[in-house]
Amino acid sequence: MRGVIFTEMIEFVEEALGYEVADKMIEKAHLDNGGAFSQGGNYPFDQMVKMLTALSEITGKPPHELLFIFGEHLFSILVKLYGKDIKKAGSALDFIDSVEEYVHVEVKKLYPDADLPKFTTEEKDENHLVLIYESNKKLESFAKGLITACGNFFNEPLNVNDEIINETPHRVRFTITRV
Ligand code: HEM
């Protein structure tokens, strides 16, 4: 998993919950590198799971809730970096629908070692988008946070329903509706 995800997560915990909580999380997670991630590096996904589990134990919040908030937060970072390009998609549903065939394709060109999920569009019209998310990382709550924040960025609040439809490979159906 790309280092930038780790550095953003630690920074987010520092800002939202304080340095003490961030330090506790790193200590509790027993990370191989003691929490010294570099943005350009690539690290095993289990290090993320360890941080998330530690944070869940410290805060008493379930991992899916933390992942959702982190996804929402990360979208605000993406807006700061690529807001103009994101706006060009025209609508939240069009942007979300372009992640598989455009956004993540560009990410893969820049970072060939990126390990990205697979999204397949099942249905799409002006007010709905049905997507299948496939990834054994099981980060659907993180995706849900990104999608929700994307709707808010376009001033198009979205209702996002997620339903696990397969265990291995892990597949989730997202039914996204404009509200
Ligand atoms: C609403 C829009 C988006 C959604 C729903 C989405 C979803 C995801 C998810 C769920 C992952 C975690 C990997 C997995 O589940 O297997 C991921 C990883 C990633 N995405 Fe996106 N993404 C979105 C937009 C973007 C944008 C705009 C960028 C950059 C311009 C981006 C860059 C990345 C990168 C760098 C990774 C990490 C890959 C790795 O760790 O190896 N994504 N994305």
Ligand 1 centre and the CA of 132: distance in Å?
Answer: 15
Query: What is the percent of the chain where pLDDT is above 90?
Result: 100
Instruction: For residue 110, give the CATH number of its domain.
Output: 3.90.1520.10
Q: How many residues does the chain have?
A: 179
Query: What is the percent of the chain where pLDDT is above 70?
Result: 100
89 and 173 part of one domain: yes
54 and 117 part of one domain: no
**Ligand 1 pocket test, candidate residues 98, 107, 133, most atoms within 8 A of CB:** 107
Q: Does 109 map to a domain?
A: yes
Task: Give tens-digit pLDDT for 74-100.
Answer: 999 999 999 999 999 999 999 999 999
pLDDT at 146: 98
Distances (CA, A) of 66 to 46, 105, 137, 169, 174: 16, 27, 15, 23, 19
Task: Specify the ligand 1 atom closest to the Cα of 111.
Answer: 35
Query: Which residues span the domain enclosing 46?
Result: 3-61
**Torsion sign, CA atoms 107, 108, 109, 112:** positive
89 and 48 part of one domain: no
136 and 53 part of one domain: no
57 and 89 part of one domain: no
Q: Does 75 map to a domain?
A: no
Say yes or no: CB of residue 170 within 6 Å of ligand 1.
no
Q: Does 72 map to a domain?
A: no
Q: Does 68 map to a domain?
A: no
The arithmetic mean of pLDDT across residues 161-178, rounded, is 98
pLDDT at 27: 98
Ligand 1 centre and the CA of 116: distance in Å?
Answer: 6
**Ligand 1 pocket test, candidate residues 46, 75, 93, 99, most atoms within 8 A of CB:** 99
Average pLDDT, the chain: 97
111 and 151 part of one domain: yes
Residue 97 CB neighbours (<10 A): 18
Say yes or no: CB of residue 11 within 6 Å of ligand 1.
no
101 and 170 part of one domain: yes
pLDDT at 136: 97
Task: Specify the ligand 1 atom closest to the Cα of 137.
Answer: 16
Task: Give tens-digit pLDDT for 15-32.
Answer: 999 999 999 999 999 999
Q: Does 10 map to a domain?
A: yes
Ligand 1 centre and the CA of 106: distance in Å?
Answer: 11
Say yes or no: CB of residue 139 within 6 Å of ligand 1.
yes
pLDDT at 123: 98
Task: Give tens-digit pLDDT for 124-151.
Answer: 999 999 999 999 999 999 999 999 999 9
108 and 30 part of one domain: no
104 and 28 part of one domain: no
111 and 173 part of one domain: yes
Closest by alpha carbon to 52, among 112, 12, 103, 104? 12
The arithmetic mean of pLDDT across residues 95-117, rounded, is 97
End-to-end CA distance of the chain: give it in Å, rounded.
Answer: 33
How many domains does the chain fold into? 2
34 and 97 part of one domain: no
Q: Does 70 map to a domain?
A: no
Q: Does 29 map to a domain?
A: yes
The arithmetic mean of pLDDT across residues 67-73, rounded, is 98
